[in-house]
Amino acid sequence: MSYNLLKGKRGIIFGALDENSIAWKTAVRVHEEGGTFVLTNAPIALRMGTIKNLAEQTGSEVIPADATSLEDLENLVTKSMEILGGKIDFVLHSIGMSVNVRKGRHYTDMNYDWTTKGWDISAVSFHKVMQTLYKADAMSEWGSIVALTYMAAQRTFPDYNDMADNKSYLESIARSFGYFFGKEKKVRVNTISQSPTPTTAGQGVKGFDGFISYAEKMSPLGNATALDCANYTVTLFSDLTKRVTMQNLYNDGGFSNTGVSQEVIERFTEE
C-alpha cells in the first residue's frame, strides 16, 4: 500500500547489495511512496551485488563511492544534487563491516589495524557523510538522515565482536551531529536499532541462526523483518516525524524491553 508519503522528496541510499539487504527493501518502499534517489555503494560491493537490477526497478542512477573517502563523498553529493535536480531530503546509511569478524578473530585477540578499518567503515563513515552534506549545505530544511544499528551497542552479545563498539560509536555520532544539524539546518538525525535480520552482512556473525530464533522467542511481536525496517525508515523520511531527532529507535518487536519471555522460561524448565 502506498500513501505517497515521500512524493517530491529526493535522497541518497547507501548500502543496497542484494534483495535481502535492508537498504534494498527501503529503496523499493521509498520508490513506491514517490521518492526519487541515487543509489551508492563501494565499488567492490557494486561488483559483488545486483544493484543494477534495483536501479532499473526504481529508475535510479548508481554512483560508486567509498564512504570512508571524503573525495568520493564530495563527488557523490555534488552529482546526486545534479541528477536529482535539487537539495537532498533524505539519506539512509546502511553500512557496516568488521574485518575481525570476517577473519574469525576473537574480541580478546583483535588485530587493531582491522579494528580501525571496521570502525572507519561502520561508524566514522556516518560522520564523514554528514560532514560532507553539512559543509555543502546539501540538505533541505526538515530533511532526515537515518543510520541502521543494533542493540549490541547497549548490551553484550559475545559473537558480535567489535561491531558492538562500532555501533555504539555510530549512535553517539547521530546524537552529536544531530544537535548541530538540527540547530543550523533543521535536519533530523536518527538511528534505527533493528532486530537481527538475515541479510548478507548479518549472516557473517557466528551463531546467527540460533540468535535469530532466540530473539524471535524473546520478542512479544516477533522479530522485525527487513521490510518492517524499510517501512519504519519511510516514516522517518516523511514529514510526519518532523521533530523526532537524535534518537535511537528500537524496531525489534519489543525485544529491547523484555527481560525474559514465557517461551524462553519454558525452554529452560523442560524436563
Which residue ranges make up each domain of the chain?
Answer: 10-268
- Which residues have a Cβ under 8 Å from the Cβ of 140 and sit 6 or more positions away? 86, 87, 88, 89, 187
214 assigned to active site:
no
232 assigned to active site:
no
- What's the first-to-final CA gap in the chain, in angstroms? 47
15 is in an annotated binding site: yes
DSSP code, position 107:
G
List, in sequence order, the alpha helices (H) in the chain: 22-32, 43-48, 51-58, 70-84, 99-102, 112-119, 125-135, 163-185, 208-218, 226-237, 262-268
**What's the CA gap between 238 and 144, in Å, rounded?**
8
Give the pLDDT confidence of 170-213 residue by residue, as tens digits: 999 999 999 999 999 999 999 999 999 988 777 767 777 888 99
DSSP code, position 223:
P
Render the burial of 89-105: b for 16+ CB within 10 Å, e for the rest.
bbbbbbbbbbbbbeeeb
- Which residues have a Cβ under 8 Å from the Cβ of 260 and sit 6 or more positions away? 218
**What's the CA gap between 181 and 142, in Å, rounded?**
10
Catalytic residue among 150, 214, 232, 250: 150
Give the pLDDT confidence of 56-70 residue by residue, as tens digits: 999 999 999 999 999
- Tens of pLDDT along the chain (271 residues) come to 899 999 999 999 999 999 999 999 999 999 999 999 999 999 988 988 899 999 999 999 999 999 999 999 999 999 999 999 999 999 999 999 999 999 999 999 999 999 999 999 999 999 999 999 999 999 999 999 999 999 999 999 998 999 999 999 999 999 999 999 999 999 999 999 999 998 877 776 777 788 899 999 999 999 999 999 999 999 999 999 999 999 999 999 999 999 999 999 999 997 6
* CATH code, 10-268: 3.40.50.720
167 is in an annotated binding site: yes
13 is in an annotated binding site: no
- The set of cell numbers assigned to 190 is 536518527
Phi-psi region of 83 (alpha: psi -120 to 50; beta: other; left: phi over 0): alpha
Catalytic residue among 107, 160, 179, 250: 160
